[in-house]
C-alpha cells in the first residue's frame, strides 16, 4: 500500500529559507503532540476544545516545516492505547481526521503536500477511514512535504505484526536481519526520523516508533501542543542543528553509544 522512495537517507537537507540558511534541517521530523487536554483545562475548557485547537497547530507547523525544508512530518494522532479513554472522547477523536480534512485538504493540495497514514487503520470507524483514504488518494501525486499521520499506531503492535509477517513468509532464522525487520514494519517506507519532538513536558516515548528512533535526536518541549508555533519549531530545529554541528565530525555512535 505504501510506495518506496529514497530521500537522501541518513543525510540532512540544506534549508530552503534565508533565515535558517546556516543550519542543517532534519529531513524527517516526528512529533508527539501532547498537552492538549491540559491546555484546555488551564482555560476551564473541556478536553475536546484542546483537541480542536491542536488541529490549528498542525496546520501552522506543517506550513512552517515545509518552509524550512523538512521533507517528512510524522504526527502521532492516535495511539493503540488511546482506545482506553472515555468513549465520548474516543468518538470525538475519531471525527477529527474528517474535520481536519474538511477544513484543510484543499489547502494541503494547493501546498503540494502528500498525506500518508500509518497504523492499524482497519480498526477505525468507516467514516474516519474513508476521510483518510480520500486524502491519501487526492494527494498521492503531490511531490512536496509528506504529512504522515500515525493513527491507531503503537510500536509494539507494529513489531508484533512485522514478526508475524516474517514467520508467515517462512524465513529461516539465519535469514533474519535488521534490514528484514525494518522492511516488514507497517510504517511506510520513509527514512527514519532525524528529530523527534514531544510537547507537553513529559519525557518519554510512549510506544512511538521505537525501532525507527534508534539514532534520532530527541527534543522535549514544556509547551502544550496548542501553544506550539513557528518559533517553537525553529527552536527545535536549531537545537537539532547545533547537536549535528557538535557531533558532526564523529561517525554515528562512535562515542558514548
Residue ranges binding ligand V07 (CB under 6 A)? 33, 36, 51, 54-55, 58, 77-78, 93, 96-97, 100-101, 115, 117, 132, 135, 149, 151, 225
* CA distance to 18, 128, 197, 224, per residue, from 32 (Å): 28, 20, 6, 11
Does the annotation flag 19 for ligand binding? no
Q: Are 71 and 105 in contact (CB under 8 A)?
A: no
Q: Which residues are catalytic?
A: 34, 82
23 vs 96 by CB, closer to ligand V07: 96
Minimal distance, residue 53 CB to ligand V07, in Å: 9
β pairing state of 146-153 and 114-118: parallel
> How far apart, in whole angstroms, are the C-alpha atoms of residue 145 and residue 67?
10
The upper half-sphere exposure of residue 240, i.e. CA atoms within 13 Å in the direction of its Cβ, equals 29
Q: How far is the CB of 64 from ligand V07 (least distance, A)?
A: 16
CB of 249 to ligand V07, least distance (A): 38
By C-beta, is 13 or 49 nearer to ligand V07? 49
25 vs 40 by CB, closer to ligand V07? 40
Smallest distance, Å, CB 99 to ligand V07? 8
Of 10 and 144, the one with the shorter C-beta distance to ligand V07 is: 144
Quote the CA–CA distance of 29 and 187 in Å, as a whole number.
Answer: 14
C-alpha dihedral, 195 to 222 to 199 to 233, nearest 10°: -50
Asked if residue 206 belongs to a known ligand binding site, the reply is yes
Q: Is 79 annotated as a binding residue?
A: yes
Q: CB-wise, 15 or 97, nearer to ligand V07?
A: 97
Q: Is 139 annotated as a binding residue?
A: no
For residue 81, say whether it is annotated as part of any ligand binding site.
yes
CB of 206 to ligand V07, least distance (A): 12
Say if residue 120 carries a ligand binding annotation.
Answer: no
What residue numbers does the annotated binding site for substrate cover? 35-39, 47, 51, 79-81, 83, 85, 198, 204-206
What residue numbers does the annotated binding site cover? 34-39, 47, 51, 79-81, 83, 85, 198, 204-206, 217
What residue numbers does the annotated binding site for Mg(2+) cover? 34, 217
Amino acid at each position: 500500500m505504501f510506495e518506496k522512495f529514497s530521500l537522501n537517507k541518513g543525510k540532512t537537507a540544506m534549508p530552503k529559507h534565508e533565515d535558517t540558511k546556516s543550519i542543517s534541517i532534519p529531513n524527517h521530523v516526528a512529533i508527539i503532540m501532547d498537552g492538549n487536554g491540559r491546555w484546555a483545562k488551564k482555560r476551564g475548557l473541556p478536553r475536546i476544545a484542546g483537541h480542536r485547537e491542536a488541529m490549528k497547530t498542525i496546520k501552522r507547523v506543517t506550513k512552517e516545516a515545509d518552509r524550512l525544508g523538512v521533507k517528512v512530518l510524522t504526527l502521532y494522532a492516535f495511539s493503540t492505547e488511546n482506545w482506553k479513554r472515555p468513549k465520548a472522547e474516543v468518538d470525538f477523536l475519531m471525527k477529527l481526521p474528517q474535520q481536519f480534512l474538511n477544513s484543510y485538504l484543499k489547502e494541503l493540495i494547493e501546498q503540494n503536500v502528500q498525506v500518508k497514514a500509518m497504523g492499524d487503520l482497519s480498526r477505525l470507524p468507516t467514516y474516519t477511514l474513508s476521510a483518510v483514504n480520500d486524502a491519501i488518494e487526492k494527494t498521492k501525486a503531490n511531490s512536496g512535504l509528506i504529512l504522515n499521520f500515525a493513527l491507531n499506531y503503537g510500536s509494539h503492535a507494529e513489531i508484533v505484526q512485522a514478526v508475524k509477517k516474517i514467520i508467515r513468509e517462512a524465513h529461516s532464522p539465519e535469514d533474519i536481519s535488521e534490514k528484514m525487520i525494518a522492511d516488514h514494519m507497517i510504517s511506510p517506507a520513509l527514512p527514519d526520523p532525524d528529530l523527534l519532538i514531544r510537547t507537553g513536558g513529559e519525557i518519554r516515548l510512549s510506544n512511538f516508533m521505537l525501532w525507527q528512533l534508534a539514532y534520532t535526536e530527541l527534543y522535549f518541549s514544556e509547551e502544550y501542543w496548542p501553544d506550539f508555533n513557528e518559533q517553537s519549531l525553529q527552536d527545535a530545529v536549531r537545537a537539532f542543528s547545533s547537536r549535528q554541528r557538535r557531533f558532526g565530525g564523529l561517525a554515528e555512535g562512535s562515542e558514548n553509544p
